[in-house]
Amino acid sequence: MRLTLDQFLSRFVLYLPIAPSAAVQGNRHAAVLVPVINAAQPELLLTRRAAQLRKHAGQVAFPGGMQDASDASLIDTALREAQEEVGITPDQVRVVGTLPPVTSSTGFAVTPVVGIVSPGALLTLNPDEVESAFTMPLVEALRLSRYSGFTLQRGNRQHQLWLSWYGDYFIWGMTAGIIRALGQQIALPDVAAPSSHAAERHVLCP
């Protein structure tokens, strides 16, 4: 099926987010930008974190990080981090809203900020933080059946996690959970995908 930007925005505004099944833990705050590229067929921008990072090295993620004292809001945090990591400037992003915060494995309450990125935005990756960036069609990213769930036991707590492959990119954990939550809110009919995702992958930067 097709999904235009107007259709995505209409559904994002009209439908309420799905309430998280567990209360958000932690008193430290962070934010990520969920960048939707404005195109005839909108795309979702994701990154692969640099291999030398101390935490979450090599994982697929959204641009983001913890809130600084200088950030006026968590939206400012997401925009600042996106500029630092992939070179998207705040004036190239139209923020359309946020999703309910989620708890990261490191104990942060993370707020996903959904933003529409100008189609002509050029990426400049920070090699200290980002190995590569890629896009996937938004309609494919939001297809709920592409995500498989599993339960992780940490101490006395059980955590529901989600995972999916897109080409040779393994999307799991908090990032997959955020995309799936957005898919639940947008509530598209779940249409079967083509047999090979590898052909659909579009790498923006090496």
Q: Give 51-62 pLDDT, tens digit per residue.
A: 787 776 788 999
- Residue 202, pLDDT score: 43
Q: For the segment 22-33, what is each residue's pLDDT rounded down to a tens digit?
A: 555 657 899 999
Q: For the segment 120-145, what is each residue's pLDDT rounded down to a tens digit?
A: 899 999 999 999 999 999 999 999 99
Per-residue confidence band for 188, with pLDDT thresholds at 50, 70 and 90: confident
pTM of the entire predicted model: 0.86
Token pair listed for 130: 């980002």
Q: What percent of the chain has pLDDT over 70?
A: 85
| pLDDT greater than 80 at residue 48 | yes
Q: For the segment 67-102, what is each residue's pLDDT rounded down to a tens digit?
A: 999 999 999 999 999 999 999 999 999 999 999 998
| pLDDT greater than 90 at residue 196 | no
| Mean pLDDT calculated for residue range 93-118 | 92
Task: Compute the distance between CA of residue 43 and CA of residue 35 in angstroms, rounded to an integer.
Answer: 8
Per-residue confidence band for 105, with pLDDT thresholds at 50, 70 and 90: confident
Helix (H, G, I), strand (E, B) or coil at 194: coil
The domains of the chain are located at 5-191
Higher confidence at residue 194 or residue 79?
79
Task: Compute the distance between CA of residue 178 and CA of residue 183 in angstroms, rounded to an integer.
Answer: 9
- Residue 169, pLDDT score: 93
Q: Which regions of 105-188 does DSSP assign to beta strands (E)?
A: 108-117, 130-137, 148-154, 157-166, 169-172
Q: For the segment 174-187, what is each residue's pLDDT rounded down to a tens digit?
A: 999 999 999 999 98
Torsional class of 97: left (φ above 0), alpha (ψ -120 to 50), beta (otherwise): left
Burial of 159 (0-12, 13-18, 19+ CB in 10 A): middle
Higher confidence at residue 63 or residue 16?
63
Superfamily of domain 5-191: Nucleoside Triphosphate Pyrophosphohydrolase (3.90.79.10)
Per-residue confidence band for 152, with pLDDT thresholds at 50, 70 and 90: confident
- Residue 110, pLDDT score: 93
> Closest by alpha carbon to 88, among 53, 63, 58?
63
> Closest by alpha carbon to 203, among 89, 48, 38?
48
